[in-house]
């Protein structure tokens, strides 16, 4: 790795606690999902490398946050903010605020985060640039007729991440099922629905590091595969991702590096790097794929600033590339510092 920030630099690990936002789920799941846990892991990794790092919550009062970052002479922010004021749609505001304060920060900027938070905008950008992605429709109200996409289809909330709003019932086989899921999302999540063609083959994801600059070009990490060990499961749902008591949690497991031919690895990397360029990604990101029965790859989602808790997919892929968890955290910090105040 290239040199990172000066040892002893003061690094605030900024995070938004999601504990209050997910009161309707089991407490142990809330604890696993809470970014305070991740912030402590990142701060510990940075302190072990000689930095003066501490977890810093993104509270409800922006003025207090500004004062809290300025008063200790913060040199940079390791940005783990996902839902300021308990809103995922405000994720981009955290780094926008840091730009106004002229404080260097890690990860992706507000434009990238804002576009990717909208699944519809992200898919439109992919289509405009020739990136293969499943056909889709966006619904602002209950569908009156078939959308013109072959069944089965997947119904997702238009502005969520972490698989929120995705269950096995999200795969629908007819208009009645489509109407049911769109209404469920409108009632429960109070947002639009995106409906896309279901690609029923193998599932992959590829991490990427870099700023897309001559000094720090984008580079892809070894691809991982989500292996569905029971044909009962068709999607990586909220339960399979977060609920260790759910049967799918143990029956959908990641394998990294994926057991695939070199040509598939090359194609996954090629598309991932194209997405990194198109979405102007900085720092780190992940691209999720499905492969159909003809071996064609389709991008499901582009994820800037994905989960980097020690047992998450991004650190797992980094280990496959020879980067330990502390090495990955230091590299993400270095990439952020290399961009300076934005």
Q: For the full predicted model, state whether its pTM sits above 0.85.
A: yes
Interval 139-152: pLDDT, tens: 999 899 999 999 99
**191 in a structural domain:** yes
- Same-domain status, 75 and 125: no
Q: What is the pLDDT of residue 210?
A: 98
Q: Is the predicted pLDDT of residue 229 greater than 90, yes or no? A: no
d(CA 180, CA 170): 10
pLDDT, tens digit (0-9, with 9 covering 90-100), for 276-295: 999 999 999 999 999 999 99
Q: What is the CA radius of gyration of the chain?
A: 20
What is the pLDDT confidence band of residue 5, given thresholds at 50, 70 and 90? low
| pLDDT higher than 90, residue 51 | yes
User: Quick one: 258 and 119 in the same domain?
Assistant: yes
Residues 119 and 265 in one domain: yes
* CA distances (Å), origin 323, targets 253, 317, 326: 21, 9, 8
* Residues in contact with 120: Cβ distance below 8 Å, sequence separation at least 6, in sequence order: 136, 138, 158, 192, 194
Q: Where residue 36 falls among pLDDT bands split at 50, 70, 90? A: confident
Q: Which positions ≥6 away from 262 have C-beta within 8 Å?
A: none
Question: Do 188 and 203 share a domain, yes or no?
Answer: no
Which domain CATH number covers 52? 3.40.50.20
State how many domains the chain has: 3
In angstroms, the CA 323 to CA 130 distance is 32
Within a domain: 242: yes
Q: How far apart are CA 116 and CA 124, in angstroms?
A: 11
DSSP line for 191-252: S-EEEEE---S-EEEEEEEE-SSSSS--EEPPPEEEEESSTT--S--HHHHH-TTSHHHHHE
Candidates 225, 287, 220; CA nearest to 260 is 225
Distance CA 3, CA 17 (A): 31
Residues 212 and 165 in one domain: no
Question: Quick check: is 239 in a domain?
Answer: yes
What CATH number should be reported for the domain holding residue 149?
Answer: 3.30.1490
| pLDDT at 3 (0 to 100) | 47
Integer Cα distance of 56 and 108 in angstroms = 19
Determine, yes or no, domain membership for 256.
yes
What pLDDT, in 10s, does the model give residues 83-121? 787 777 789 999 999 999 999 999 999 999 999 999 999
> In terms of pLDDT, which residue wins out, 274 or 73?
274
Decide if 211 is inside a domain: yes
Confidence of residue 60 (pLDDT cuts 50, 70, 90): confident
Render the burial of 109-133: b for 16+ CB within 10 Å, e for the rest.
Answer: bbebbbbbbbbeebbebbeeeebeb
Which tens digits make up the pLDDT trace of 186-199?
Answer: 888 888 999 999 99
C-beta separation of 185 from 165 below 8 A: yes
- Proportion of the chain above pLDDT 70, given as a percent: 87
> Per the omega criterion (within 30 degrees of 0), is the bond before 128 cis?
no
């Amino acid at each position: 790795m290239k040199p990172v920030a000066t040892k002893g630099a003061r690094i605030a690990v900024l995070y938004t606690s999601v504990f209050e936002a997910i009161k309707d789920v089991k407490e142990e799941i809330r604890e696993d999902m809470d970014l305070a846990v991740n912030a402590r892991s990142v701060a510990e990794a940075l302190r072990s490398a000689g930095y003066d790092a501490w977890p810093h919550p993104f509270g409800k009062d922006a003025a207090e946050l500004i004062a809290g970052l300025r008063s200790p002479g913060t040199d940079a922010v390791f940005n783990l903010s996902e839902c300021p004021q308990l809103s995922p749609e405000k994720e981009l505001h955290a780094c926008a605020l840091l730009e106004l304060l002229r404080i260097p920060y890690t990860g992706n900027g507000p434009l990238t985060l804002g576009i990717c938070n909208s699944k519809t905008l992200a898919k439109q950008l992919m289509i405009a640039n020739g990136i293969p992605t499943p056909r889709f429709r966006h619904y602002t109200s209950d569908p009156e007729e078939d959308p013109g996409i072959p069944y089965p289809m997947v119904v997702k909330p238009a502005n969520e991440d972490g698989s929120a709003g995705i269950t096995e019932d999200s795969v629908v086989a007819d208009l009645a099922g489509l109407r049911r899921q769109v209404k469920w999302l409108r009632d429960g999540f109070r947002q639009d629905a995106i409906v896309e063609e279901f690609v029923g083959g193998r599932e992959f994801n590829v991490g990427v590091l870099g700023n897309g600059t001559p000094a720090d070009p984008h580079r892809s990490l070894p691809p991982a595969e989500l292996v569905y060990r029971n044909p009962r499961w068709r999607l990586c749902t909220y339960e399979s991702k977060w609920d260790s008591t759910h049967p799918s949690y143990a029956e959908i497991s990641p394998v990294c590096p994926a057991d695939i031919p070199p040509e598939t690895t090359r194609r996954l990397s090629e598309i991932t790097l194209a997405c990194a360029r198109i979405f102007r990604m900085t720092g780190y990101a992940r691209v999720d794929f499905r492969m159909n029965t003809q071996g064609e790859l389709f991008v499901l989602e582009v994820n800037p600033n994905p989960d980097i808790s020690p047992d998450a997919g991004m650190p797992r892929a980094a280990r496959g590339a020879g980067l330990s968890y502390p090495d990955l955290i230091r590299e993400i910090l270095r990439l952020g510092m290399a961009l300076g105040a934005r």
